[in-house]
Structure 1
Amino acid sequence: MLSIGSLKNNIAQILIILKKDLVFSLALALSVITSFFSTPKIEYIDFKVLFTLFNLMLIVSAFKHMKVLDKLAVTLLIKYDSSKKISFILIYLTFFSSMLITNDVALITFVPLALIISKRASISPMKLVIFQTLAANIGSGLTPMGNPQNLFLFSYYRLTGFEFLKTMISFTLLGIIWLFILNNLGKNKKLKFDLDNIIIESKVKVMIFSLLFIFIILSVFNIINYKLAFIITLLTVLILNKKLLLKVDYILLLTFVCFFVFIGNLSSLPFIKSLARSFLQNKTTTYFSSIILSQVVSNVPCSILLANFTSNWRELLLGVNIGGLGTLVASLASVISYKLYIKKRTANAQSRYLTLFTLYNLISLLVFTFVLYFIFIF
């Protein structure tokens, strides 16, 4: 039985976590509040996403522990000695990889590399991480498997590969140009750093975890069952290095659970469904409704909800991909990079990141919304 002192201590620790992690606090509050208006259901939670994130966090932690990411960072820094060149490589690496391994996997793979490079080169990683997030959310739009909303709409409307590509190619090309502009706006700094020779002690373990990483990527594409991937990953970690389990960001996983519940609750409300019916009568309203709604409920549930009420698949497809820009919750992949960035940083740093993230994303949202509107709809 807990004593009063122990209970107070536990409550104090919970309050510290809530105060420190603003996004988790927001997600928790929203999930609790909406649960009073709509009964939460277990099916709202995407367990595949949770298990995959857990697996990837273990793999990335393993690579960090074995200094694989440090080795990659040093290799890039030796070859490229300016801040713009380094950011260019990392932004487009995230951009193009997201087309194949999805936006969330691209971010959880390459943001840690950006953080290590920034630390070694003594530069601020804030803008770079924000641009990587934009890159992942834009680059993933080109392919059906790039993100969950694309996969759903591709299947739901029974689109051909040509129809899909024809619609999304302008979005992607605009993204390539826009990211190039953003990367060239800042000052180019000549990087000065002292680099140690990184020695990887166990190449066998590196190979095992590399194969495990490939195994997890296959589970993303449903080639291998994600539950099997989870079991094998967990067993491998328990055998090779069980301390990696302490490196997992469990608060991030809980944040996703809370967002899933909030989004599920909100999407099931009758007035939301009523609004969907009234706003999806033509192409223009479908386009703008999907962009605006994504800012509140995230673009994946927005796609699932609105697809039931419209045949304007092209406008919906464009809208939910553009809608992934904007607020932090517009694409839940953005929450991943935010959490990776703010780890062990002050509340001040969290606030600065959110401010700058919102600024760049809202500007990007406006640019993409109106440029693509005039290309496709006007």
Structure 2
Amino acid sequence: MMATNLFNRHPWLKRIRHEWLLLLFAALAVLLACVDPQPWSRYKTWLQIPTLCGLLGLLIAIQGIRDSGLVQRVAGMLVMHVHSLRGVALLLVSMTAVLSMVLTNDVSLFLMVPLTLAIGSMSNLPVLRMAVLEALAVNAGSTLSPIGNPQNLLIWQHAQIPFPSFIMHLLPAAAVMFLLVAALAWFWMPKERVALHADRLDGHGVSRAMATLSILALALMVLMMQYHQAPLGALVLVIGFALFSRRTLACIDWLLMATFAAIFLGLGHFATLPIVGHALDTINVQQPLALFLSGIVSSQLISNVPATVLLLDRAKDALALAVAVNVGGFGVVIGSLANLIALRLAKQPHGMRLFHEVSLPFLLVCAPLVYLVTRLLA
């Protein structure tokens, strides 16, 4: 009874009770802090404050674009010109993959998932299936570009590989991944034609002032992230929207921010444990297959960006490592944190379950195909 009253007085406690990923990684971070205490400077490093600030800035800008009505207007224009669900799926998957090459995987999802939700609200498009496909598509598309995702950026800068050489080496792997995602989209989507809800196509007014402010905010945030000034960019956006649109700030998914903070702390600390380092030292990552499997397995355990950090100095073939950790973005949801962003933005029931029902078999099919193709073309 006391617990029920407590939840009634504080609704946010009721929400946290259902945030199992947040609770799991928060518990891991606290447990590791107790059994392996570290200086505060290391916790600050693991927390990845610039990344969290970048995430906050993107959340604010995209929420502003949603509030402006622009996403709904674009969604209406799209569904009026594509007549089959499979056609819509292939279009959205392709747009997501291409955007991830130039705007990074996270930014691509922040643009495409709200658009998908808007299309789903005015048609019979299966939104959750599309969100899962878009999570897979950003992993495939961002693989090709040195700036497509954090692990590629780390490897590109560390190994000093020419931009064209990086793209040419990753092209076979990215092509296999994208073709598999496109095939999945084609066969998984219903054969039906797009059925429009006529009553929801009209009446989507666009606030030009809010749309302009939000698009400028998004451009500013991406620019600030490129120049490693994400905290300053997030501060500017928080102040700007606090002055002009407090409602937008109120709609931000703050629990997503807390979940990422817990994941960064928990996985960051776990990755530096001596037992993890010793385990990796026993693996001969100079062997192509061993490196490939190490990148995938470690990505499943600690996500592909920490896995890249752990393996970067151990692996002589940086480009082979890039292939491995990008393939490792499939599988479990923490393989790539872009997976979590896609599911969280979609806010669909049973999203995590459906994601794993699709992504785990996808990894089992994709991994051997990518390895065979890359080895044959090496």
| Pairwise same-fold verdict (TM > 0.5) | yes
Residue 94 (structure 1) aligns with? 96
Match of 2:274 among 270, 274, 293: 270
Residue 370 (structure 1) aligns with? 368
Partners of 1:183 and 1:307 lie apart in 2 by 33
1:136 shift after superposition: 0.8
Residues 38-80 of structure 1, C-alpha deviations (whole Å, 9 max, x = no match): 3351110111221111111111211121111110111111111
Q: Give SS of 2:335's match.
A: coil
Q: Give SS of 2:126's match.
A: coil
Q: Residue 180 of structure 2 contacts residue 366 of structure 2 at CA under 8 Å; is this kept in 1?
A: no
**Aligned 1:122-201 pairs, distance under 5 A:** 122-185=124-187, 186-190=189-193, 191-194=195-198, 195-200=201-206
1:135 shift after superposition: 0.5
Partners of 2:7 and 2:190 lie apart in 1 by 48
TM-score, length basis structure 1: 0.91
1:283 shift after superposition: 2.0
Which stretch of the first structure deviates more once superposed, 135-144 or 208-217?
Answer: 208-217
| Ranges in structure 2 where 5+ consecutive residues have no aligned partner | none
**Aligned 1:1-378 pairs, distance under 5 A:** 8-9=6-7, 13=11, 16-39=14-37, 41-185=43-187, 186-190=189-193, 191-194=195-198, 195-200=201-206, 202-222=207-227, 225-279=229-283, 280-342=285-347, 349-350=349-350, 353-377=351-375
Partners of 1:158 and 1:77 lie apart in 2 by 43
- Counterparts in 2 of 1:175 and 1:373: CA distance versus 1, 3 Å: closer
Residues 224-278 of structure 1, C-alpha deviations (whole Å, 9 max, x = no match): 7223312221222022111211111110001001100111111111111011111
| Ranges in structure 1 where 5+ consecutive residues have no aligned partner | none
How many corresponding residue pairs?
366
Q: Deviating runs (4+, > 4 A) in structure 1?
A: 4-15
Q: Residue 7 of structure 2 contacts residue 13 of structure 2 at CA under 8 Å; is this kept in 1?
A: no
Q: Give SS of 1:248's match.
A: coil
Which stretch of the first structure deviates more once superposed, 367-376 or 324-333?
Answer: 367-376
Residues 99-124 of structure 1, C-alpha deviations (whole Å, 9 max, x = no match): 11111111122101101111211443
Partners of 2:203 and 2:169 lie apart in 1 by 47
- Counterparts in 2 of 1:265 and 1:10: CA distance versus 1, 3 Å: farther
Q: Residue 38 of structure 1 contacts residue 266 of structure 1 at CA under 8 Å; is this kept in 2?
A: no
Q: Give SS of 1:27's match.
A: helix
Partners of 1:15 and 1:59 lie apart in 2 by 27
1:13 shift after superposition: 5.0
Partners of 2:9 and 2:144 lie apart in 1 by 46
Q: Residue 299 of structure 1 contacts residue 323 of structure 1 at CA under 8 Å; is this kept in 2?
A: yes
1:14 shift after superposition: 6.2
Q: Give SS of 1:329's match.
A: helix
Partners of 1:52 and 1:293 lie apart in 2 by 25
Q: Residue 323 of structure 1 contacts residue 330 of structure 1 at CA under 8 Å; is this kept in 2?
A: yes
Which stretch of the first structure deviates more once superposed, 294-303 or 46-55?
Answer: 46-55
